[in-house]
Amino acid sequence: MKINFALLLPLAVLSIGALVSPAQANPTGNRATVAPTIVSQRSERTAQNTPARRVVGQPMKDGNYIGLGGSNNGAVVNGKYALSNNFSIRPGVTTSLTNDDGGDRGVAVLAPVTYDFNGNGNRRVQPFVGAGAGVTTGDGTNLEVVATAGTDVRLGNRYVLNGSVNYLPLDGQRVDVAAGLGYRF
C-alpha cells in the first residue's frame, strides 16, 4: 500500500489543530468556541467603573481581620467579619490575666454588629459604632448587652491597629477600653 505524503501532511495539521483548538479549552461544551471573543472598548470601561457585587456569605476582600491586644480588664482576642461595605460583626473575647480577688477568672465574649463609616475599607482610618450581645463569666454567667465605638487604622497591606470602647450596662456599667494589632485577610 502506497501512502501519499501530500495527503498525510494536511491530515496531520488538521489533527494537531483539533487538539489545541479553542473547543478543547472549553471542556464543558456548553457553548461553542469557534473564534476569539472580541470585547468592545465601551464594555471594558463600563466593567472597570462598575463595582463588583458581593454575594451574601462571601467575605469582603481585605475587610476582615483577627487580632490580639490588651484592655483594662486583661488580654483580648478580637476580629472583624464584614457583612457588607458598611456593616460588620466584631467578635471579641476578653479575659483577665490574673486572679486577684480569689474568685473565678472573668471572661467576656462579645459580638456587636457595627456600622463602618468609611464603608469599602480602602481608607486608612475607619471609625465604627455598634451594638450587640454577649456573655460574661466570673462569679456567674450573665447575658450581656454591649454598645461599642472605635476605629481601625491600616498599617500597610496586611496589618491593622484597632481600638475600641465597649460599654456593658448590665455588668455594673462596665467599660472596657481595648487596643490591639490585627492581621487582615
- Mean pLDDT confidence for 122-147: 90
Identify the top-confidence range among 30-34, 102-106, 116-120, 133-137: 133-137
- Mean pLDDT confidence for 61-88: 90
Share of the chain above pLDDT 70, in %: 61
pLDDT at residue 170, as a whole number? 86
Backbone angles phi, psi at 133, to 5 degrees: -125, 170
Q: Tell me whether residue 37 is exposed, middle or buried, using C-beta atoms within 10 angstroms of its C-beta: 0 to 12, 13 to 18, 19 or more.
A: exposed
- Cβ–Cβ < 8 Å for 72, 78: no
Q: pLDDT tens for residues 142-158?
A: 899 999 999 999 998 89
Over the chain, what is the mean pLDDT?
Answer: 76
**Could you report how far apart the first and last alpha carbons of the chain are, in Å?**
68
| pLDDT surpasses 50 at 20 | no
Q: List the domain boundaries for the chain.
A: 5-49, 65-184
pLDDT at residue 8, as a whole number? 47
Q: 65-184 in CATH: which number?
A: 2.40.160.20
User: What is the C-alpha separation between 147 and 130, in angstroms, rounded?
Assistant: 6
**Residue 170 DSSP class:** T
Q: Which residue has the higher pLDDT, 28 or 114?
A: 114
Sequence-distant (6+) residues with CB within 8 A of 176 are: 71, 72, 73, 94, 108, 165, 166, 168
Q: Which residue has the higher pLDDT, 122 or 115?
A: 115
pLDDT at residue 37, as a whole number? 54
Q: pLDDT tens for residues 33-56?
A: 555 555 545 544 444 554 545 555
- Cβ–Cβ < 8 Å for 5, 19: no
pLDDT at residue 162, as a whole number? 95
Q: pLDDT tens for residues 79-107?
A: 999 998 889 999 999 998 766 666 667 88
State if pTM tops 0.85: no
